[in-house]
Amino acid sequence: MRISIRNIVKAFEGGLGRPALNGVSLDIRSGELVALLGPSGSGKTTLLRVIAGLEVAQSGTLLFGDEDASDMSVQERKVGFVFQHYALFRHLTVADNIAFGLNVRDRATRPPPAEIRRRVDDLLELVQLASYGKRYPAQLSGGQRQRVALARALAVEPRVLLLDEPFGALDAQVRRDLRRWLRDIHHRTGHTTVFVTHDQEEALELADRVAVLSGGKVEQVGTPDEIYDTPASPFVYRFVGESGSVPVEFRDGRMWLGKYALPIPTDFESSQAGDLFLRPQDVEIVEREAPDAVAARIVGLRRSGATRRAEISIGGVSGPIETVALPQAVLSVGEEVGVRIRKGQFFPRA
Amino acid sequence: MAFSFRRKSAIPGFGLALGYTIAYLGLIVLLPLAALVLRAAEVGPSGLYTLVTDPRVLGALRTSFGLALLAAATNAVFGMIVAWVLVRYRFPGRGLVDAAVDLPFALPTAVAGIALAALYAPNGWIGSLFEPYGIKIAFTPLGIYIALVFIGLPFIVRTVQPVIAECDREIEEASATLGANRWQTVFRVVLPPLTPALLTGFALAFARGVGEYGSIIFIAGNIPYISEIAPLLIVIKLEEYDYAGATAIATVMLVVAFAILLAINLVQAWSRRRLGHA
């Protein structure tokens, strides 16, 4: 099911002036796995709830396929919604939770009991909880509960699957497992899926496309590669990965960091000042006298998974910037070094 | 493995607390009840049987227990709605309404009884509205019922209210996204988790209703066989110096009330287990 979101505006009563959604437009293709990524307060959850019909937008339209869904009730929209805290019915068994959406249908559309039982068994199989049907939610772990919640949402054969921070309440290991597993389920079932997350790693790893939200607006929509490699704004650059920035300016066809000319090709004609945004792998620690080296000082060292990281202050003008330190390099805090800036992304200062 | 009272715990004084609890319960609750049963035993089993099967006594017991159950059931429904409204809606005067719920707790029961009797008497504000249709409220079992509903309301509201406040609204939204209509959401999703609290409130309201005296005697009319309650009959027996008869009725009330409360507690424990509270 294709979903078209057009100029949605949603302000909460007693909100602080700024609407939670301030003219959001987004197209979600059929069968796509889309992440809504943003910090808290960016409006991502509100957008998901507007799609589900749990919030009503003040203006704008929402299309499910070619059908106007703006005024449909929650029940009519036939979405599958998975909540961050599972929202399982604790007085029902796992099987009854999953069957709930089928059991509440009126007699004309409700499948016969044997059929419901079969569907529940299939779904339990799908979420790898085949022997847990008779348990109650209180007897399950967090990850198992979230899998039940997903099975429950899938049982009604939703037109679109909406997940609100589905892994937010789980610990790191379970999160990683469930992420892979959700990807797998999406491949198998092919549901159009939208999920909300504040975790950029999760969004980039899982989604076909990512929509980055900030302050009730869409900052950028694109594939994980586009979002990471060519961020459309300083906000996106900062949000989707580790980054630092140095103040630079263009003069005489070159980019200058203070008195240093950087080895970065530029196509700007006029003089312009702005910030050069850098990822850790864009900055290389070199000898002080190496060609194109900019003077820097090491202000911190730390271990991050397989790599070592150095925090450096460049040219005395920038705050700490992360770099990847070579394993064999002997570095110490306070040491004066040179850095070579190989690439970066320039954003003119507003 | 031998049972042991000693457990490792962060809180000291388990032995002291347990001893205190048993001593306190024994002195305050069990000792008077034991005295009551002993006194009733003086008449012997056959004497007890004749006393209790007296039609007037049976009538009074039926009135007391029947109406208390009926009133508690009424309150279970309407008290639940009051609690729901107080938790879920914000409206002007909510604080006042919330405070007013406790009034039946605080008011001397005799005051409540006189006020209700005045309102529901055939010439009272409300009673006069029903009079033309031949419906008499005060001085009939209906009057007792109304007094018991009045007395029992706060028990339901105050036990259910905090549980509703704790309820996760997301489960209602989940129910709606799964296609359930509002009634289905209320009866299949919202109410079942409230059952244990509702049963507690029901048991409290019922227990209070069985023992209620002050508010009823003014509105009941106290007609033997019809609108005479068991506690009143006990008082009458006492005034006639028939201590054995009084304690016999009291003992029967005690046994029946205990049995009903125990049954409610068992149902409650079962539903609590089902909800994973245990």
For the segment A296-330, what is each residue's pLDDT rounded down to a tens digit?
888 888 887 777 888 888 876 667 777 777 766 77
- In this prediction, what percent of chain A has a pLDDT beyond 90? 46
- B94 contact partners, CB below 8 Å, separation of at least 6: B86
- Candidate from B180, B181, B193 with C-beta closest to A90: B193
Task: Compare B4 and A348 and report the one with higher pLDDT.
Answer: A348
Residue B4 pLDDT exceeds 60 = no
Contact A74 B177 (CB under 8 A): yes
**Which range (A57-71, A245-259, A312-326) has the least confidence?**
A312-326
* pLDDT at residue A149, rounded to an integer: 94
Residue B2 pLDDT exceeds 70 = no
Average pLDDT, chain A: 88
* pLDDT at residue B278, rounded to an integer: 39
B1 confidence band (pLDDT: 50, 70, 90): very low
* pLDDT at residue A258, rounded to an integer: 82
Contact A87 B276 (CB under 8 A): no
Provide the residue type at B63 as one letter: T
* pLDDT at residue A189, rounded to an integer: 86
Residue B3 pLDDT exceeds 60 = no
Nearest CA in chain A to B195: A91
Segment B188-202 mean pLDDT: 90
Instruction: Give the Cβ contact number of residue B136 at 10 Å.
Output: 16
Nearest CA in chain B to A51: B177
Contact A87 B184 (CB under 8 A): no
Cβ-based contacts under 8 A for chains A and B? 75
A269 confidence band (pLDDT: 50, 70, 90): low
| Residue whose C-alpha is closest to residue B138's, from B124, B150, B149, B152 | B124
- Candidate from A100, A104, A138 with C-beta closest to B276: A138
- Candidate from B174, B188, B193 with C-beta closest to A81: B174
The string of pLDDT tens digits covering residues B238-266 is 999 888 888 888 888 888 888 888 988 88
- A162 contact partners, CB below 8 Å, separation of at least 6: A48, A51, A52, A79, A80, A81, A82, A193, A194, A195
Residue B276 pLDDT exceeds 60 = no
Contact B275 A153 (CB under 8 A): no
The string of pLDDT tens digits covering residues A86-111 is 999 988 999 999 999 999 999 888 99
Residue A210 pLDDT exceeds 60 = yes
Between CA A36 and CA A51 the distance in angstroms is 12
- Candidate from A75, A89, A153 with C-beta closest to B171: A89
Is ipTM over 0.90? Answer: no
Note the residue count of chain B.
Answer: 278
Residue B45 pLDDT exceeds 90 = no
Distance from the A297 Cα atom to the nearest Cα atom in chain B, whole angstroms:
51
- B233 contact partners, CB below 8 Å, separation of at least 6: B56, B57, B60, B249
- Candidate from B170, B173, B179 with C-beta closest to A156: B179
Distance from the B192 Cα atom to the nearest Cα atom in chain A, whole angstroms:
7
In chain B, which residues have their Cβ closer than 8 Å to the Cβ of A87?
168, 170-171, 173-174
Task: Compare B153 and A241 and report the one with higher pLDDT.
Answer: B153
Helix and strand numbers, DSSP H then E, in chain B = 15, 0
In chain A, which residues have their Cβ closer than 8 Å to the Cβ of B170?
83, 85, 87
- Yes or no: say if A274 and A249 are a contact pair by the CB < 8 Å rule: yes
Contact B178 A54 (CB under 8 A): no
Helix and strand numbers, DSSP H then E, in chain A = 9, 20
Name the 3-class secondary structure at B200.
Answer: helix
DSSP character for A188? H
Residue B210 pLDDT exceeds 80 = yes
Contact B175 A100 (CB under 8 A): yes
The string of pLDDT tens digits covering residues A128-186 is 899 999 999 989 998 899 999 999 999 999 999 999 998 887 888 888 888 888 888 89
- Candidate from A87, A138, A139 with C-beta closest to B170: A87
| Residue whose C-alpha is closest to residue B274's, from B181, B219, B169, B199 | B199
- Candidate from A75, A80, A87 with C-beta closest to B181: A75
Instruction: Give the Cβ contact number of residue A162 at 10 Å.
Output: 27
- B218 contact partners, CB below 8 Å, separation of at least 6: B110, B113, B114, B116, B117
Determine the residue among B168, B178, B182, B189 to mutate to test chain A binding: the one whose Cβ has the most chain A Cβ atoms within 10 Å.
B178
CA-atom Rg of chain B in angstroms = 22
Q: The pTM is what?
A: 0.80
Contact B180 A83 (CB under 8 A): no
Contact B174 A83 (CB under 8 A): yes
Between CA A114 and CA B41 the distance in angstroms is 60
Between CA A312 and CA A322 the distance in angstroms is 6
Between CA B164 and CA B261 the distance in angstroms is 23
Nearest CA in chain A to B178: A101
Average pLDDT, chain B: 87
Residue A26 pLDDT exceeds 50 = yes
B8 confidence band (pLDDT: 50, 70, 90): low
Determine the residue among B169, B175, B177, B186 to mutate to test chain A binding: the one whose Cβ has the most chain A Cβ atoms within 10 Å.
B177
- A49 contact partners, CB below 8 Å, separation of at least 6: A55, A164
Contact A136 B274 (CB under 8 A): yes
Nearest CA in chain B to A72: B177
Q: How far is CA A324 from CA A243, A311, B100, in A?
A: 12, 9, 68
Distance from the B191 Cα atom to the nearest Cα atom in chain A, whole angstroms:
10
Distance from the B80 Cα atom to the nearest Cα atom in chain A, whole angstroms:
19
Distance from the B159 Cα atom to the nearest Cα atom in chain A, whole angstroms:
19
Between CA B88 and CA B84 the distance in angstroms is 6
* pLDDT at residue A15, rounded to an integer: 61
Contact A104 B176 (CB under 8 A): no
Most confident of A256-270, B136-150, B172-186: B172-186
Strand-pair partners of A250: A255, A272
Contact B188 A78 (CB under 8 A): no
